[in-house]
Structures are given as structure tokens and as C-alpha cells.
Structure 1
Amino acid sequence: MTTGKTSRSGNKPAVLITGVSRKIGIGYALARTLARAGWNIGFTYYRDYDEQMPWGSRPEDVEDLIQELKGYGAAVCSQPADLADPEEPRRVIREVRDNLGPLSALVMSHCYSVDSTIQDTSLESFERHFRVNTRATWLLIREFSRLFAGTFGTGRIVAITSDHTAGNMPYGASKGAMDRIVLAAAQENRSRGITANVINPGATDTGWMTPALEQQIRRNTFLNRIGTPQDCANLVEFLCSDRGCWINGQVLYSNGGVEPGAGG
């Protein structure tokens, strides 16, 4: 299996993006957009999770992305990683650093999401949601912050969240806890000059919507369309740039506007 490693490319900053495996996913758009903006790209993927989901796994997507990123002039380091394993965050960050140089940004778009309610959520499912969505985020941030050696004010942490609650309880609860960890990172990294923000992109077209649900979301959104992965990637690129340095410690809603009570 290829790791997608290439030699370092110039003096470009390096970013680690988690949860990049599907061409239609948010992580994929993040990698493309940041590569075009001049970043070297490290990314993680976990094909076993995709294979369990309705959309399935396309092994060629990762290889296609590696070649596309190289075409933009980016150095690339891809890492398969099960972030439920508490050893993986440290390993991945150090592997990417060793291949791409010091990391300037950490963008977390990984998730584990299996629908269930308060009544039917199993203990195993609840704990796995928190291991992947919450604990891994903490461990990634901790290692990234410890190793950050860039100029004060240039470090970036961005996480992708959700406002799901009823019907998707363990996912929503674990993402809510994740938000607090990222907000804590904004305060605790003041001396390091690392900003930390959360993006809630609302309902985004990544292949999970039924036609009926898509129509419902369109009706509830002010701009009468579905959010795209590129919409989220545009905001991440801004936050990671020098222009985004004054935004810190925020949960940002980037959902096109949603009718009150309609959800996302």
C-alpha cells in the first residue's frame, strides 16, 4: 500500500487533514483547496469505516487524490489511521511532520456517525463515537500544539462539527464535546500563537441524503440549495490563511441560513 509520500516541496506550510477518503466528502475538498492555496498536504483516511456505510469505499479515491495534489505542486503524506486507537494521533502527526516538515495547521474532518436514539444506542457505539470524535480530537490537538514551532500567530486548528441531536444522539453528543475541546485550545494556546475554531457547515451533500430529505433541506435553506463540500473548504482556507488570523475561539455557522427550528 502506498503512503503517498513525496519529498518536501519548497518552503510551503504543511497541514494535516483528518478524514479524507471519499471524493465526494468534505475532507477531499479541504485537501484540494489547501493544496491549490499553496500548502503541503498530510491526510488520514480509514477505509474500514466507509465500507460499513451505505456509500461504501472506493480505494481509487485516495490514489486519485494523491496524484491530483501532486499536480498542484504539493508534497503529500497520506496515512491510513483508525483514530479510535489512542496511539494513532501521535503517530500520524509525527509521521506527517517527518515527511513534510513542521506542521502549521491541523484540520479535523474525521468522524464516526451511526444513527441511534437515547433508547437504542449501545454502550459500544456510544463509546466508539467518543473515542473517534472527541478523544482523538483532544489527542491530535495536544500533539500538534506540543510540536508547533512556527512564528507566533501562524498556527491554525480547525474542526468540523454538527448540530445533530435527536435520532443521532451519540454523534451529536460527541461532536458537542469536541467543540468545547477546540474552544479550550484557543485559550490554552495563547502563548503559542495558535488559533482554534469550529465550523458547522450544516447539511452538506456528501452522498448521505435521500431525494426527499434533499428537497426538505432545500426548502428550509434561505438560498434554496444544499451545502457543498467546497463551501466548507472555502471557509477553512480563509481561516488557515493570514487573512483569517483574527478569528479565534469561535463556532462558525456556514450553512447558507436555515429557518429557525428547521435544523441542519
Structure 2
Amino acid sequence: MITASALRRDPLPLRGRTALVTGASRRAGIGHAVARRLAAYGASVYLHHHVPHDAAMPWGADSPDAVADSVREALADPQARVVSGPGDLADPAEPARLVRTVTEEFGRLDILVANHALSGSDGTLDDIDAAMLDAHWAVNTRSVLLLVQAYARSRAASAGDAPGGRVVLMTSGQDLGGGMPGEIAYALQKGALASITRSLATTLADRGITVNAVNPGPVDTGYATDEVLAAVAARFPAGRWGTPDDPARLIAWLATDEAGWITGEVVTSEGGFRR
């Protein structure tokens, strides 16, 4: 029987732990919201960004310092810290370098949230070519698997088989409803992450590491036109898009000990979105 004291929730369930959140480059994005939630739960956070990618997109780049300062405002543990740094995850050597940088900075890495993704450079079945497929594979899938590999090796070196290891991947609901016929390369590579989640969870279970994936559904991160915003909002029972903090709350919970029995799952957090 669980004791009454064990049932009392720790207000800082991630105190003393360190998280790496990739793709945390815009204050309007999911990565930023996740990082703020983790910081509010007591974790130290390393924010990965790749400004050239955002600068090439319609929404433009944000200031890495401004993003980091925003996350620092959410720090709940006086001993916790926020550090940010760049990295082009299209480079196959970058995942290992990034994990090494985090472990050298904080001494260990407990939580990996692979939130980054390549946007654009995509199209329909008629539009795609080998270059598009290769670009999405390199950033959206290969780099994630190499990050998990480097993370698992760092955990083995710094924490052994201690519980509390967490990996969260991001998918896109490409297997639900009508799919994503206008973004074939993106859907393909995100689908690969959903498919590998259980295999990774089984591989890392004996090391005290859980692996889950989250499908955040349509989230308003500033990329949609007013017309698209209105049309998609009508398909939510609540009449609104998801906000970045909606999936962030789920991801932060998955990082805590309360979610220690959840692994190998693809969790959809779409607010009842009707496809």
C-alpha cells in the first residue's frame, strides 16, 4: 500500500535534474513552452536553437537571449540554471556534440525532449524529390535517433541505471484522419519516429529510461494565416487551436516520476480535434 506521504505531490518534481530541449528557438514555439514548464518543475534546462532555419521561414528568427531569459523567469529552483546554444542537427556529428556540451555544462543529462523539426522544403507526392526526402530524414529522423543514442550513452556514464531518465519525441498525427498529403516528406519522417518509439522504449527500459512520443495536434505557433486559423479552430470542440503550453504540460508531466510507468506510447494531445 502506498503511504499517505508518498501521495503528496512534490511542487518541484524535477529538482536536481537537467533537461535538453531541442528546437527551443522561438518564444511562440512549443520548445520554449516545454522548457518553461520543466524549469517551473525545478529542472535546469539547456535550450538548443538553430537561428538560420527560422530566419529563412515566414515567421522569422527570435533572439536566443530573449528565449533564454524567458525560461529563466520560470526557474523555480534557486540552484537551477538555463543555458542556450546553437546547433545544426543536419550535421550527423552534431547530436553527439550537443549531448556532450550539455553533460559538460551540467554534469549529467536526465531529460531529452527532441522537439526540433525541419519546416518547408516539402510538398505533395508529385512535388517531392530525393533532396527533400534526404533533408527531412537528416533533421527530423536521423538526428533524433542519434540524439537518443548519445543521450543513452551519457546516462550510462553519469547516472548508470538510476531511474528518472526520460526521452520525449514529437510526432504529427500523420497516421490519423486524412493524413498530411501536402507534406509527404515531413509526414514520412515523423511517422518513422512514431514507429520506433516502442522499440526504443524496450531497448532502454533496463536503464531506467522511458521513451514516449507526443502528437501535439494543430498548435498556434504563429505560422498560420487568419483564414487557416478560423477554419481549423472550427474543428476543435473548444473552438480554439492548441496553444504551445497545451502539449508542454503533458510533456513536462511525462518527465516526472509520476509518469514512470508510461513508456513506448504515442500520446495524442489534440483537444478533441476533428479531422
Aligned pairs for 1:99-178 (under 5 A) are 99-114=105-120, 115-148=122-155, 149=159, 152-164=162-174, 165-178=180-193
Letter in 2 for 1:203: P
Q: Is the 8 A contact 1:198 1:250 kept in 2?
A: yes
How far does the alpha carbon of each residue in 1:154-190 deviate from its partner, in whole angstroms, 9 at most, with x for none?
A: 1100011112420011001010112223322101012
Whole-angstrom CA distance in 1 between matches of 2:72 and 2:243: 24
Q: Unaligned stretches of 5+ in structure 2?
A: 1-14, 175-179
Q: Deviation of residue 152 (structure 1)?
A: 3.4
CA RMSD after TM alignment: 1.4
How far does the alpha carbon of each residue in 1:227-253 deviate from its partner, in whole angstroms, 9 at most, with x for none?
A: 010001100110001111111110001
How far does the alpha carbon of each residue in 1:184-220 deviate from its partner, in whole angstroms, 9 at most, with x for none?
A: 2101012101000000010000011111111121111
Whole-angstrom CA distance in 1 between matches of 2:162 and 2:188: 33
Q: TM-score with structure 2 length normalisation?
A: 0.87
Letter in 1 for 2:153: R
Q: Unaligned stretches of 5+ in structure 1?
A: 1-10
Q: TM-score with structure 1 length normalisation?
A: 0.90
Identical counterparts, % of pairs = 37
Partner residue of 1:5?
A: none
Whole-angstrom CA distance in 2 between matches of 1:76 and 1:108: 17
Whole-angstrom CA distance in 2 between matches of 1:83 and 1:13: 24
Whole-angstrom CA distance in 2 between matches of 1:80 and 1:160: 20
Matched positions, count? 248
1:36 aligns with 2:40: yes
- Aligned to 1:199, the other structure's residue is in SS state strand
Whole-angstrom CA distance in 1 between matches of 2:162 and 2:253: 18
Whole-angstrom CA distance in 1 between matches of 2:224 and 2:160: 41
Q: Deviation of residue 134 (structure 1)?
A: 0.3
Structure 1 runs (4+) greater than 4 angstroms displaced: none
Whole-angstrom CA distance in 2 between matches of 1:56 and 1:67: 19
Whole-angstrom CA distance in 2 between matches of 1:221 and 1:70: 33
Letter in 2 for 1:185: L
